[in-house]
Structure 1
Amino acid sequence: MYKAVIFDMDGTILNTIGDLTAASNYALEKMGKRHDFPEEKIKLCFGCGIDADMEKVLALEGGCPEEELEYIGSSIPFSRYHFTGEDVKRLKSLFVPRYAAHCREKTAPYEGIPEVLSALRNHGILTAVASNKDDRDVQVLERALFPRLFDRAMGNHKEIRRKPAPDMVLAILKDLHVSPAQAVYIGDSEVDLETAKNAGLPCISVDWGFRTRPFLLSHGARVIVSSPRELIPLLMG
């Protein structure tokens, strides 16, 4: 049995895509761009940190196919989809305050997640959140939607490298006085798989979030669950 379980937030414990989609379309509209993207498209843009997320939203608006979104800003330049770094900054400046003001309108825990967290805590297992979402939003949502269910929650801030760097996960484990060998990481994306690997933790992937099971398998996922109740025997067996 593990001593600590670290969860990603968006797409893993919280269904945030409705509010992320609304804020993305709002920001695109303010820039005079197409702004009618559905949740199924927008969710493919999130999970890598706000700057990378905004790059992907602009690429999507510029006609980028789904299978290329993860490469925007690395092997695929912005120019291919007709936007610049200044466009990214502008979209971010519109998105961030809009999302912060409306981040709880449609957002809710995935069914069964609170029960999993309660079961873990009842068995003395420590729980934490490590998210690339801005730390301010992480704290607001964690306090409002998961009262007394997490021992530590950390989001993206300038003092620590964002995932997939291991820094956030390792800082949480240090705070909890738990070694990587005693912990497991749970997430829904390729970023989470890489984060766990970089931090030296096993990873359990979930397919109810922002990435599909075939996508996760193609990125090296070895353990994938399709419902929160499947987590209990894996975490407490």
Structure 2
Amino acid sequence: MPPTPRWPYVVFDLDGTLVDTIGLIVDSYQHAFTTVLGAPEDEVVIRSWIGQPLIRAFRERSPERADDLFATYIAWNHANTERLIRRYAGVDGLLADLVVAGVRCAAATSKLRGPAEAALRLTGLDAYLSGPQALVTLEDTAEHKPDPAPLLLAVERMGGTPGEAVYVGDAVVDVQAARAAGMAAVGVTWGAGSRSDVVAAGPDVVADTVDDLRTALLG
């Protein structure tokens, strides 16, 4: 008998949660900053931006060159995704277990749709989402994390309610978005965010390993 899931609907962040794109993202930012502004950015600052829309970060850093930074980032990221993307060991098995247990799974990300679909396809995780509409990307909502709109849309598309759902992410904005959506929150510590920051955000559960996350979701 499969275990009884704690939540029937699970929405995942993408970068740093389901797929290891942290190195790819950091290198893409650094390429953009070095090419357009002539100098790299502090990696700690870059990591703090992960999980939020790219253009928001570029406007924060250099409003007058944001569009150039964005275009340079996108071109380099696209050219190097297949080379630099990595899998997190055990995530595919966890998703398979969730599906067997009857859990409906979605992803809500601030990534553009093309790169998000590529990341899931290259890691083989697209098969575990509850249909193509279960991927919510930058283009799908006017507001983005920490606003709850992407999470709420993901749950709505799966046919659930916020009270039946949990959001799993690696950043403070993920926990904030879950709280604003009225959803439970699980913070994972293998992504871009520091463990101390994730813990301080106050998720319901902190998962340091994929096994910890399995226990949180499936008991």
Q: What is the match of residue 44 of structure 1?
A: 48
Question: Following superposition of structure 1 onto structure 2, how do residues 58-77 of structure 1 map, counting pairs within 5 Å?
Answer: 58=61
Return the offset for 1:36.
7.8
Question: Following superposition of structure 1 onto structure 2, how do residues 149-188 of structure 1 map, counting pairs within 5 Å?
Answer: 149-151=128-130, 152-157=134-139, 159-188=141-170
Q: Please give the alpha-carbon distance, in whole angstroms, between the structure 1 residues aligned to 2:159 and 2:203.
A: 27
Q: What is the match of residue 224 of structure 1?
A: 206
Instruction: Give the number of equivalent residue pairs.
Output: 210
3-state SS of 1:104 partner: helix
Q: What is the match of residue 107 of structure 2?
A: 129
Structure 1 alignment gaps of length 5 or more: 59-83
Residue 5 of structure 1 is aligned with which of 10, 26, 37?
10
Q: What is the match of residue 177 of structure 2?
A: 195
The list of structure 1 runs, each at least 4 consecutive aligned residues, that deviate by more than 6 angstroms after superposition, is none
Q: Please give the alpha-carbon distance, in whole angstroms, between the structure 1 residues aligned to 2:80 and 2:69.
A: 17
TM-score, normalised with respect to structure 2: 0.87
Q: Please give the alpha-carbon distance, in whole angstroms, between the structure 1 residues aligned to 2:63 and 2:214.
A: 44
- State, as a whole percentage, how many aligned pairs show the same letter: 23
Q: Please give the alpha-carbon distance, in whole angstroms, between the structure 2 residues aligned to 1:91 and 1:126.
A: 37
Return the offset for 1:113.
0.8
3-state SS of 1:117 partner: helix
Name the amino acid aligned to 1:50: L
Q: Please give the alpha-carbon distance, in whole angstroms, between the structure 1 residues aligned to 2:155 and 2:204.
A: 23
Q: Is the 8 A contact 2:205 2:216 kept in 1?
A: no
Structure 2 alignment gaps of length 5 or more: none
* Cα 1:189/1:32, change in 2 over 3 Å: closer
TM-score, normalised with respect to structure 1: 0.81
Residue 115 of structure 1 is aligned with which of 93, 113, 121?
93
Return the offset for 1:41.
5.8
Q: Is the 8 A contact 2:33 2:41 kept in 1?
A: no
Q: Is the 8 A contact 1:47 1:53 kept in 2?
A: no
Q: Please give the alpha-carbon distance, in whole angstroms, between the structure 1 residues aligned to 2:126 and 2:106.
A: 12
Q: What is the match of residue 75 of structure 1?
A: none
Q: Please give the alpha-carbon distance, in whole angstroms, between the structure 2 residues aligned to 1:218 and 1:179.
A: 26
RMSD: 1.9
Q: What is the match of residue 70 of structure 2?
A: 92
Output one character per residue of 1:155-189: Cα deviation in whole Å (capped at 9) or x when no partner: 11164321222221111111111111211110011
Comparing 113-122 and 84-93, the one that deviates more: 84-93
Q: What is the match of residue 66 of structure 1?
A: none
Q: What is the match of residue 15 of structure 1?
A: 20
Q: Please give the alpha-carbon distance, in whole angstroms, between the structure 2 residues aligned to 1:15 and 1:128.
A: 17
Return the offset for 1:32.
4.5
Q: What is the match of residue 81 of structure 1?
A: none
Return the offset for 1:14.
1.1
Q: Is the 8 A contact 2:111 2:137 kept in 1?
A: yes
3-state SS of 1:111 partner: coil
* Cα 1:157/1:220, change in 2 over 3 Å: same
